[in-house]
C-alpha cells in the first residue's frame, strides 16, 4: 500500500510539473515568438555607428513657368484652373526631388511612416512619396470620382475607379521601383511613389535641403532624381559620427 501510495504521489507531482510547464509556455510573452524583421533582397539590417549625409539641391536653368490646365469637368471639386509645376523651386532650392544612396547593402532598419496618398482638390498628395516595400493606401477625399491607375515596372499594374466616399484602396508594392500614379478621368493628375530598396531615401524639402542619418561608414554613390530634370550621381565617403556634405545642381 505504501509503495502504491508513493507511485501515485509521484504521478501526481509529474502531472503538476507538466501543467506548470504548459502554463508557462502559454503565458510567455508573445515577443519571444516574434518573427525577425523582413529585409528587402540585397539589404540586411545591421546596427552600428554611422554618420550623416546632408546637402541642398539647387536649380541652374531657365525660369520654369507652371503649365496651366483648364478644368472642364468636376469643377466643384477640382476648381476651374490647375497650375502644374514640372520643377518646383522653394526658398532657392528644388523640392520634391528624391535623394538616395544607391549601393548600400546594410545599415539601419526601415522606419518610413505607413504610406498613404490622398486625392484632394483633384491632385495627388503628396506629389512624391517614398515608402518601404509593402502596402500603399490610396484615399479619395474629393466629391468626384477618380480612377487610380498604377504604372510600374517591377510590381503589378493596378487600375480601379474610386467613387466619392469610397473606402481607401490598398495596393501591393513589394518590389523596389519608381511607380507613376495617374487618374484617367482627370488627366493632369500624376504623382510618383518611390518604393525604396534600402532605408536611405529621402524627398528634398524647402530650399532643396535633404539629410540621411545613420549611414554606415563607407564610400557610396549618392543619387538625385527629379521627374523633369533626370538623375545625377556623385561619390561620397561617410565616417561614423561625422556629417558628409553633398550638394547637387540640376538644370535643363
pLDDT tens, position by position, 66-107: 999 999 999 999 999 999 999 999 999 999 999 999 999 999
Half-sphere exposure of 174 (CA within 13 A, CB side): 5
Prediction pTM value: 0.83
State the cell numbers at 149: 491607375
Residue 4, pLDDT score: 46
Tens of pLDDT along 129-176?
Answer: 999 999 999 999 999 999 999 999 999 999 999 999 999 999 999 999
Higher pLDDT, 14 or 81: 81
Higher pLDDT, 248 or 11: 248
Instruction: Enumerate residues 6+ apart whose C-beta is below 8 A from 65.
Output: none
Give me the residues paired with residue 195 across strands: 131, 177
Amino acid at each position: 500500500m505504501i509503495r502504491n501510495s508513493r507511485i501515485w504521489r509521484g504521478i501526481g507531482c509529474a502531472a503538476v510539473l507538466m501543467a506548470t510547464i504548459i502554463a508557462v509556455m502559454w503565458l510567455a510573452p508573445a515577443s519571444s515568438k516574434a518573427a525577425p524583421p523582413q529585409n528587402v533582397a540585397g539589404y540586411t539590417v545591421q546596427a552600428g555607428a554611422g554618420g550623416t549625409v546632408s546637402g541642398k539641391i539647387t536649380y541652374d536653368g531657365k525660369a520654369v513657368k507652371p503649365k496651366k490646365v483648364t478644368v472642364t469637368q468636376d469643377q466643384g471639386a477640382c476648381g476651374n484652373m490647375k497650375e502644374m509645376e514640372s520643377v518646383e523651386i522653394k526658398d532657392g532650392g528644388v523640392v520634391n526631388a528624391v535623394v538616395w544612396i544607391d549601393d548600400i547593402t546594410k545599415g539601419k532598419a526601415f522606419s518610413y511612416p505607413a504610406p498613404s496618398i490622398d486625392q484632394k482638390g483633384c491632385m495627388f498628395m503628396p506629389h512624391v512619396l517614398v515608402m518601404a516595400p509593402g502596402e500603399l493606401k490610396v484615399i479619395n477625399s474629393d466629391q468626384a470620382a477618380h480612377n487610380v491607375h498604377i504604372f510600374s515596372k517591377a510590381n503589378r499594374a493596378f487600375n480601379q475607379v474610386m467613387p466619392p466616399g469610397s473606402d481607401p484602396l490598398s495596393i501591393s508594392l513589394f518590389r523596389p521601383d519608381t511607380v507613376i500614379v495617374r487618374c484617367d478621368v482627370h488627366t493632369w493628375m500624376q504623382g510618383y511613389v518611390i518604393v525604396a530598396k534600402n532605408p536611405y531615401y529621402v524627398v528634398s524639402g524647402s530650399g532643396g535641403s535633404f539629410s540621411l542619418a545613420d549611414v554606415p561608414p563607407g564610400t557610396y554613390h549618392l543619387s538625385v532624381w527629379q521627374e523633369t530634370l533626370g538623375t545625377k550621381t556623385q561619390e561620397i565617403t561617410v565616417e561614423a559620427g561625422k556629417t558628409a556634405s553633398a550638394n547637387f545642381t540640376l538644370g535643363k
